[in-house]
Structure 1
Amino acid sequence: MRLQKSTMCGLYAVLELAANPDRQVSAGDIADKYDISLNHLAKVLRTLVRARLIESVRGPGGGYRFAGNPKRVTLLDIIALFEDTGLDLQEAASDEHEESRALHKVLRDIDEIAMTTLRSVSITSLLKVIDTERRKTERGPNGASARQSSAGRA
């Protein structure tokens, strides 16, 4: 599945804000971390604010913060804001050949599986996967953490 740049920006922003729910994060900080155009990110953030997934905090130290429930917000909730997630059933219905109808049925089934999967992955679940992957990269090849490895060399 290939996602548009806006979708990826939206996912990055939501993940960044949901990972730090007690603090506001500036659009500039998010743009810098993920190497995103600040102007493009601002449009994406407005969409997320309108969807009430994040909220804007004005004033000194302002920025954005996650406003949803990370256990209930799913990848599909975010992707659907930026992508057309509807199944193209009209095209399949007009096909006259058995092969074409069979192919469209299989492709619809794949789309439905993808939608079900995206609907089942919450922000909390994805943050856990990110944390697990981060811990794996912090460990050295022998399973020791980077701190333990450097302490053993001293």
Structure 2
Amino acid sequence: MRITARTDYAIRAMAELAGAPDRPLKAEDIAGRQDIPVRFLFVVLGDLRQARLVASVRGPEGGYTLARPPAEITLADVIRAMDGPLVSVRDLKLTGLEYQGAAAPLPDVWRAVRTSLRQVLEGTTLEDLAAGTLPELVQERASAYTDDIRTYP
């Protein structure tokens, strides 16, 4: 899975909105806090609005707010809104995917990858980010992380 800049910016912007549930935030303020190019952020916020994850508020005190409570929006929701499915193999459904010969077990690997991603991304909400309290599963997997793939458990 590759996290695009667009998705990274979207999640960071949504985390800022989750941290300010009582008032709209201006795109310029979000951009400044997260070091996101403001022009790009306007495009991202427009896509999030179209996906009904954020709402825009007009007027001098306007800006952007979450369209739902932060506990109801997962990281998976944001990623899907920005980039589509979490895991896909050549845009095919993973159920019924079959390979021959030595690659025959590979569809099970792809399904396991998708399941692992879903556990982490659907189990982590914007409320978790804003509160700084990640789910136990995320904390466990993050503490096991290493850049050396040969030693990853």
Instruction: Give the TM-score range, shorter chain.
Output: 0.7 to 0.9
Whether 1:120 aligns to 2:123 is yes
Task: Report what 1:138 is aligned to.
Answer: none
Matches within 5 A, 1:109-148: 109-129=112-132
Partner of 1:96: 100
Q: Deviations over 1:51-89 (max 9, x none)?
A: 222111112122111221211111111110112325325
Counterpart CA distance in 1 for 2:69 and 2:93 is 35
Letter in 2 for 1:82: M
Q: Is the Cα contact below 8 Å between 2:56 and 2:65 reproduced in 1?
A: yes
Alpha carbons 2:98, 2:107 under 8 Å: kept: no
Does the CA contact (< 8 Å) of 1:18 and 1:66 recur in 2? yes
| Match of residue 87 from structure 1 | 88
5-14 or 83-92, which deviates more: 83-92
- Rg comparison, structure with higher value: 1
State how many pairs are aligned. Answer: 130
Counterpart CA distance in 1 for 2:32 and 2:130 is 20
Cα gap change, 1:24 to 1:93, in 2 (>3 Å):
closer
Choose between structure 1 and 2: higher helix proportion.
Answer: 1
Residue aligning to 2:14: 14
With normalisation by structure 2, the TM-score equals 0.74
Q: Distance in 1 between matches of 2:112 and 2:76?
A: 17
Indicate the SS of the match to 1:3: coil
Are the counterparts in 1 of residues 99 and 105 from structure 2 also a CA contact under 8 Å? Answer: no
Structure 2: which amino acid aligns with 1:87? S
Picking from 104, 108, 112, the partner of 2:111 is 108
Identify unmatched segments of 5+ residues in structure 2.
Answer: 135-153
User: Contact 2:7/2:79 (CA < 8 Å) preserved in 1?
Assistant: yes
Ranges in structure 1 where 5+ consecutive residues have no aligned partner: 132-154
RMSD: 2.2
Looking at structure 1, the residues matched to 2 and 68 of structure 2 have their Cα atoms a distance apart, in angstroms, of 25
Q: Is the 8 A contact 1:76 1:119 kept in 2?
A: yes
Partner of 1:65: 65
